[in-house]
Amino acid sequence: MALNDFFALLLTAGGASAVASWILERIKAYSNISDPEVKRWIFFGVCTVLSVGSYCVITFVPPAVLLQIVPYFGIVATVFSSVFLGNSFHLRDKLSASGTVSNPIITADVESVAAELSELK
């Protein structure tokens, strides 16, 4: 995704709400708010700031400046994707407390496999 595509995504209601949701759900203070009305207004405000901020960047920042930012955006986007995919993989691939692999594709019982391997020695 190019930098201009990212700002265009933030201009849409779906893009702003997806980014706002991702950010807010990782903030403990937001997660600890018990009143759904307060959470709704905070979410609305963050979506608005993201959309209006994106519009301001696209409208008022000179194209030459945006062109200088593109390589850094690419680096950050690549690192974000790698970390996000790596964390997602590790969350799915860890052993569960029952001794079985939590990945639904792999159904091996770790304890029985370990017992079979120890018998072979």
Q: Report pLDDT digits (tens) over 23-34.
A: 999 999 999 999
The predicted-structure confidence for 38-58, as pLDDT tens digits, reads as follows 999 999 999 999 999 999 999
104's CB contacts (< 8 A; 6+ apart) are none
* Segments forming the whole domain that contains residue 22: 1-61
Do residue 3 and residue 57 come from a single domain?
Answer: yes
Beta strands in the chain (DSSP E): none
Do residue 40 and residue 93 come from a single domain?
Answer: no
Assess if residue 54 is contained within a domain: yes
pLDDT score, position 86:
80
pLDDT level of residue 10 (50, 70, 90 thresholds): very high
Q: What is the pTM of this model?
A: 0.66
